[in-house]
Structures are given as C-alpha cells and as structure tokens.
Amino acid sequence: QVQLVESGGGLVQAGGSLRLSCAASRSIFTINTMGWYRQAPGNQRDWVAVLTSGSNPNYADSVKGRFTISRDNAKNTVYLQMNSLKPDDTALYYCYAVFRGGIFWGQGTQVTVSA
C-alpha cells in the first residue's frame, strides 16, 4: 500500500508558476513509477507526466517544455514544477504511483489559472 498526499496547488495568473508536491507514505526507492494526471471539470482524467526509475521523464505534448517532473528520494516526494501556466492548465491534479502491480492515487490538489 502507498498513501499519497498532494500539495502546492492554488490560484495563479496566466504566465505564472506553481510547484506541486506529492509525498508518499513509504520510501520511493521502492516505487518504480510515479507521475501526475489532471482532470478539468466535465473532462476525463488526462495524463500529464511520468517518472520511471532509470528512464527519462515523459510529458504530455500539452505541457512539454513548461512542466518538469522530479523526485527527491530522501524526502519520499515527487514534484511537478509548472511554468508558463495557461488557463487551460486549470484542473485537479492527481499524483499516482505504480507499486507491486497496483496503482495508487492521491486526493488531488486544485490548480486554477486566471486569464
């Protein structure tokens, strides 16, 4: 089992930045894959970014060049640095982890980008 807690969301103007954090309940040395999805009102949940041990990060085309995913193993935390934010980035952002064949989700953190 893995519990995930996101933080760092908020209200920001277009062009601004936010950094989301996802704290895991266990050492992320043991978690091969962690990433982020987002869900805007009325839309499906869309994949944003993923970080797999030993591989380069991958990003959705819509955020490539603006978002950066990283991990701090000592803090058991994964981050999503979001720059040049756009109103279309407004969504509930969810962290996920793939661990021992299961997928675990956090509760989400709201990001709202005003025009």
Question: What is the tens place of the pLDDT at every residue in 12-62?
Answer: 999 999 999 999 999 988 899 999 999 998 999 999 999 998 899 999 999
Read off the pLDDT of each residue in 73-95 and give the average, rounded to a whole number.
97
Read off the pLDDT of each residue in 65-89 and give the average, rounded to a whole number.
96
pLDDT at residue 54 in the model? 87
pLDDT at residue 53 in the model? 87
pLDDT beyond 90 at 89: yes
Read off the pLDDT of each residue in 76-83 and give the average, rounded to a whole number.
97
Read off the pLDDT of each residue in 77-89 and give the average, rounded to a whole number.
97
Report the candidate in 79, 80, 90 with the shortest Cα–Cα distance to residue 115: 90
Q: What stretches of the chain adopt beta strand conformation (E)?
A: 4-7, 10-13, 18-24, 33-39, 45-52, 58-59, 67-72, 77-82, 91-99, 102-105, 109-114
pLDDT at residue 35 in the model? 98
| Cα 39 to Cα 69: distance, rounded to the nearest angstrom | 18
pLDDT at residue 91 in the model? 98
The tokens 């407004």 sit on which residue?
90
The dihedrals phi and psi of 89, each to the nearest 5 degrees, come to -80, -5
